[in-house]
Amino acid sequence: MNWGARGLRVLLLALSLTLPAGCGDRVPQLPPLGSNDVIVAFGDSLTYGTGAEERESYPAVLAQLIGRPVVRAGVPGEMTAQGLRRLPSVIDEHRPRLVIVCLGGNDMLRKIGEREIKRNLRDMLKMLSQSGIAAVLVGVPKPSLVMSAPGFYAELAREFGVPYESEIVTSVLRAADMKADPIHPNARGYRKMAEALAQLLREAGAL
């Protein structure tokens, strides 16, 4: 079939309109962080740093990369319902300017429905928004042969207009040399997470 130059342009335009929402979109902007503004890394064992030393966890490495205090508020084994209950006390204790939310993996391992996971994460993001605290969301892959973060993470990021890191946990857990075990990164993997989040914060105008 001979489309011709004009026909090809029309086809490319049509294809571009079918790309998923968010492709090529500008990263939602965050308020600039002062040198003493506190960031809380909130999550489960991926945030705690299971599989590496504390100094090798992604919050510890992120603090070094960006020159800001980053609190490692990760609880191994925590599910989103538990995180939702814990979040108010973490806010009260640390008074963060920004919270990085990385939860959901334990729910998926225990076959909790996506609707419940999404509801709990939405309530966390709503709590942060109502408290005047900026948020970043990190997608966690669903256990499967072809790992990827479920679509509800991107939906929540769009709903609340927050920066979203969709790929880094998946890419780390796909790489044998970045894992301490099947579900946890090693020191190299956590550094990759920290580097990706530092880049996202720069793109979002926080740094």
Q: For 7-16, 22-31, 166-175, which range has the lowest pLDDT when averaged over its residues?
A: 7-16
Q: Indicate if the pLDDT at residue 200 is higher than 60.
A: yes
- Total domains, the chain: 1
Average pLDDT value for the chain: 90
CA-CA distance, 16 to 203, in Å (whole number)? 23
User: At 146, is the pLDDT very low, low, confident or very high (cuts 50, 70, 90)?
Assistant: confident
Domain assignment of residue 118, yes or no: yes
Whole-model pTM: value is 0.88
Q: Specify the pLDDT at position 125.
A: 98
Q: For 21-35, 79-93, 152-166, 169-183, which range has the lowest pLDDT when averaged over its residues?
A: 21-35
Average pLDDT, integer, range 169-193: 97
CA-CA distance, 125 to 128, in Å (whole number)? 5
CATH number of the domain that residue 82 is part of = 3.40.50.1110
Q: Indicate if the pLDDT at residue 20 is higher than 70.
A: no
Name residue 86's amino acid: R
Domain assignment of residue 89, yes or no: yes
Three-state SS sequence of 123-145: HHHHHHHHCCCEEEEECCCCCCC
Q: Which domain holds residue 149?
A: 29-203
Residue 97 neighbours by CB under 8 Å, 6+ apart: 31, 33, 34, 37, 38, 39, 133, 134
Average pLDDT, integer, range 90-104: 98
Q: Specify the pLDDT at position 25.
A: 67
Domain assignment of residue 73, yes or no: yes
Q: Specify the pLDDT at position 4.
A: 52
Domain assignment of residue 198, yes or no: yes
* pLDDT above 90: percentage of residues in the chain: 85
Helices 114-130 and 151-160, axial angle in degrees (round to 10): 20
Domain assignment of residue 149, yes or no: yes
CA-CA distance, 152 to 168, in Å (whole number)? 17
Cα atoms in the 13 Å half-sphere on the side-chain side of 204: 23
Domain assignment of residue 181, yes or no: yes
Would you say how long the chain is, in residues? 207
Determine how many CB atoms are found less than 10 A away from the CB of residue 155: 15
